Each structure stands twice: as structure tokens, then as C-alpha cells.
Amino acid sequence: MKIPSYLRDLEPLYRQDPRHAARAWFRQARYGLFLHYGLYSLVGRHEWVQYREKIPVAEYAKLAASFTAARFDAERIADCAVAAGMRYINLTTRHHDSFCLFRTSATEFQPLNTPCGRDLVAELVAACERRALGLCLYYSHGRDWRHPHAPNNDRWGGGARPEYEPPEPAYAGDTQHNLQHYLDFMTAQITELLTQYGPVAAIWLDGIGVPLHGDAAAFRCQELYDHIHRLQPQVLVSYKQGLTGTEDFFAPEQGLPAGTQDAKQRGRISGDKNQLLEVCTTMCPGSWGYMQAMSGRHLRAEQVWDKLREAGQQGYNLLLNTGPLPDGGLDPEDEPVLRAVGDRLRKEGFP
């Protein structure tokens, strides 16, 4: 059994218990790079642009004809992460708009059917393996604005889908809607992500607000988690602040929600010091995907340093996001900041 490159330093533990080794690695990793990239990047008005502007499914899909990812350079991205002092990368393999960045037989909505013509996940897998970086794969689970049988507003409440008027014809009506079709679609895609590329560090699920406000049990998440661990026993599973409580680590946005009285926001996070935690935040205030209007207002090096200090004090990993430009290149406002923070980390260590 070949050990994943990112777990090489933990080989004896990996031979005994791959998942235990992965959890130990995650605790030591401390700092990772998040990348939100997709069709929404071409528009540059937030990754939720389809939802916010109620762009019809067929109209939004036309963006795929302009998706080239001409400057998406996995080697440069991985080099930047290493230079920044990061130990892992998390890429949006499929966001809420349902456009995939990988080769999949489950949908035509993927880069192989665009001018890009490449599997971006495969490229990043190879770059991370060469540098012993863990690769985590973001996957939108609770929300999908394209699949006919994804959670709808009739059953799951407003927020699951854009509020189209007249109703979006691509969606299954309430009487025809069958969530199982969507669950099967997701299982097929996550299976592809775990069988096409070699070792994966984590499957990072998003869209928890939908199951939290509906029948969470209908999503059968534990079955999915068990399936993931059967395919790759070292893979860690996260679903934001925790849906079932059996996730390997919890990953809320912006900060720890400890102290809130809202259980839906607090999720499963407790004060257990052994609990693995990660907080994601973004270089571009208010947006995870590229947002042209926020140019010049991104985090500076000292602000990133403060976030690393807070992460260390509160005992969580920091997953810091940048939204690549429409052509896939790293944002020139963020890359030098990330590298400058890495230089300081090498001189001073983590704050």
C-alpha cells in the first residue's frame, strides 16, 4: 500500500491506522489554501451570482462556452501554497451552480465540454502529490441550482434554489421531485473523485444550511461518509459546522460560532480541545469567488498574520481563500500577500 506523499512523515502511524494518521497530519497542518473557481468567476460578481440575479439555468449554462481556464496553472498554485507556508489546498470541484472542474460521466456540465478541455482537478492532484501537499476537494452537497431533483424550495424552504418567476422549467415539479436521484448523482461524482486520481486528503461538503432547515436525515449523510471511508480510509470528511457529529473535522466560516444560542449555526461544535477544527475565511471581503468590484480591498499581509495568530490562540486550522481570475490565474492582489506571509512564517514561525 503506497503511502500518500502528504502523510510520509507519519508512515508508521499510517500503516497502523490511515485515518488516525490523517487526523494527526491535519492537526499539524495548521494552514491551507482555498480556491473558489468556476463559471461564476467569468462574471466577477460573486459566486452566488446565479442565485442573486436569478439567472435562468439555460442562460447561466451559456457561460461554459467562454470557460477557457487558460491561466489556471496547477504548478504555480501549488508553488504559491508552499511559498505561503501552507500544507494543503482545497479546490471547489463543484459549487452550487453544479458546474464541475473534473472529468465526470454524471453530467455534461464540466470543463471537458468547454474550450478549456482539461480536467483541472487532475492537474492539481499531480502538482500537490509532487510537493507533498494534501489536496482537499470541496463539493456542494446541500445546494444545487441545476440538477432537476436537487433540494427545492417547496420542501426545503427558500434558499435552496433561486426564486424564479415563472418557475424554472429545468426543475422537477414538487409532485415529480425525487431527492434520491440527486443523492445517487452526488454519490457517483464523489466516487469518481475518490477513484480517478489517487489519494485525497479530505472531502469538504458545503450547503449545510439546506439540510439543517429541512429533513436532514433524508440526505443519508452517514451512508455517504461510510462510502467515502471504504474507498479511501485516510480521507477526512467535513460538513461545515457538523451535520451528523460524525465528521472528522468541523469547518465553520469566518470564525468559531461558540457561544451562539442558535443550534443551527452552532452545529456540533463543542469545547472539546481534541476536536479537529478549521475556519475558512477569504482574502476578498464579502466574496469567495472573484469579485471585480472589490479590487483593491483585499486582505493585506498584516491582516492575514492576525488571522493566523487568532487561529493559533483558538486551536483551529486557517483555510484562506482566494478567487482566481476569470482565466484561472491567481489574483495578482492576493499572490504577493500570501508569499510575503510565507516569508514571515519561515523567519518567525507561526504566531
166-189 pLDDT, tens digit per residue, is 999 999 988 899 999 999 999 999
What would the pLDDT profile of 302-319 be if each residue is shown by its tens digit?
Answer: 999 999 999 999 999 999
Q: Which of 168, 177, 182 is nearest to 55 (CA)?
A: 168
Phi/psi at 130 (nearest 5 deg)?
A: -65, -25
At residue 265 the predicted structure's pLDDT band, cuts being 50, 70 and 90, is: very low
Neighbours of 233 (CB within 10 A): 15
Bridge partners of 278?
317
In whole angstroms, give the CA distance from residue 55 to residue 65.
Answer: 16
Q: Among positive and negative, which fits the CA dihedral 211, 212, 218, 221?
A: positive
Q: Which of 292, 287, 282 is nearest to 334 (CA)?
A: 282
Number of H helices, E strands in the chain: 14, 7
User: Does residue 154 carry a pLDDT above 90?
Assistant: no
**Average pLDDT of the residues in 23-44:** 98
In whole angstroms, give the CA distance from residue 92 to residue 324.
Answer: 11
**Average pLDDT of the residues in 318-340:** 98
DSSP string, 85-125: T-SEEEEEEE-TT--BSS--SS-S-SGGGSTT-S-HHHHHH
At residue 271 the predicted structure's pLDDT band, cuts being 50, 70 and 90, is: low
Q: Strand ranges (DSSP E) for the chain?
A: 31-35, 88-94, 134-140, 202-206, 236-239, 278-282, 317-322
**Average pLDDT of the residues in 200-214:** 95
Q: What pLDDT shows up at residue 263?
A: 42
Residue 267 Rama label (left phi>0; alpha psi -120 to 50; beta): left
Neighbours of 18 (CB within 10 A): 21
Residue with cell 461545515: 240
Report whether CATH 3.40.50.1000 matches the domain 31-348. Answer: no
User: Does residue 262 carry a pLDDT above 50?
Assistant: no
Say which amino acid occupies 216.
A
Mean pLDDT, all residues of the chain? 94
Q: What pLDDT shows up at residue 87?
A: 98
At residue 270 the predicted structure's pLDDT band, cuts being 50, 70 and 90, is: low
31-35: strand order across its sheet = 236-239, 202-206, 134-140, 88-94, 31-35, 317-322, 278-282
